[in-house]
Amino acid sequence: MILAVVMGAAGGVVSGMLGVGGGILFVPALSLVLSLSQVKAEATSLLAIIPVALAGALRQSRYGNVRLRDAAVLGPVSAVGVAGGVALSNAISERALKISFAVLILGVAGQFLLRFWRSRGAAGSEPGGRFFSRSEQNLPRSRGAGNSISGDE
Amino acid sequence: MPTARVLKLAVTGTAAGLLSGLLGVGGGVVMVPLLVLWLGYEERAATGTSLAAIVVIAGMATIAQGAYGNVDVAKGLLVGVPAVGGVLLGTWLQQRVPSRTIGLLFAMLMVAVAVDLIVS
């Protein structure tokens, strides 16, 4: 049980650092440690994600890192996508799908690594570098359409 | 919002939802990279916006799964309550590391998810 609590807390840290729900740790905590079936573990993980994502989003919005209008498009549209995905999953070979998605995200991971490699030396221009500042990035920014970085406005 | 941007967001959200419905991977693993690579988000803004979207997604999905009786509230809280502490620590920590480090950690998470998909 203590292990489940620790895995929950660790999943929360991953969630806050990386903007994911934390299910990658919640599901094994619920299935392997708290012995729920896989289906129930995944469903219960969703419940655990709600307060986590809510607390994380509130905290991030204080730092000016939430574009609420974009999130308001993403959230409901995704929910529709989930329903489609569940329906599709009964029609498609899950194994093939998992492998192709795994390959796809490995490719994306490669792109992130490339970005990391290319940005070497730029760390000094990061907002305050490590561990001290709360400069630029942490100031509230204008919400909504503003996105000075993207250049595709 | 310009139409092209709304479209990109809609595609991003649909892809995130579809894949989480299909494979049970969280929407964040799909949304964060698309926001960064396609919509030009800075890493921190991508993660914060992703979390806000996840509140809606997880909320709706929990209601749906709850209707099937698949949600164990007590065990969910046992994991979820300490996780709230974790997320506060995680977001705090995130403000103190460079964006590129967040990108690197995210790449590691994607590799972990890929391995998990292949072995499962």
Contacts of B70 in chain A (CB under 8 A): 39-40, 42-44
Please report the residues numbered 87 through 126 in chain A whose beta carbons come closer than 8 angstroms to any beta carbon of chain B: 87-89, 92, 94, 97-99, 101-103, 105-106, 108-113, 115-116, 119-120, 122-123, 126
Provide the H-helix boundaries in A19-123: 23-28, 38-62, 68-89, 94-118
The residue assigned the tokens 């998810």 is B113
Residues of chain B in contact with residue A147, where contact means CB-CB under 8 angstroms, are 39-41
Both tokens of residue A17? 């650092």
Q: How far is A76 from chain B (nearest CA, A)?
A: 7
Query: Residue A64 has what pLDDT?
Result: 96
Kindly determine whether residue A109 and residue B19, on different chains, have CB atoms separated by under 8 Å.
no
Rounded distance between C-alpha atoms, residue A82 and residue B14, angstroms: 8
Chain A residues touching B67 at Cβ < 8 A = none
Average pLDDT, rounded, for chain A: 82
Asked if B60 has any chain A CB less than 8 Å from its own CB, the reply is yes
DSSP B39-70: S---HHHHHHHHHHHHHHHHHHHHHHHHHTT-
Q: What is the least distance, in Å, from the CA of A1 to any CA of chain B? A: 9
For residues A49 and A23, the answer to whether their CB atoms sit within 8 Å is yes
Looking at residue A133, its pLDDT comes to 40
pLDDT in tens, chain B (120 residues): 788 999 999 999 999 988 887 777 778 999 999 999 999 999 999 999 999 999 999 998 888 888 889 999 999 999 999 999 999 999 999 999 999 999 999 999 999 999 988 987
User: Which position has the token pair 């289906």?
Assistant: A39
> A93: pLDDT confidence band, cut at 50, 70 and 90?
confident
| Structure tokens given for A99 | 């492998």
The model's pTM is: 0.84
Top pLDDT among B71 and A137 is at: B71
- State whether ipTM is beyond 0.90: yes
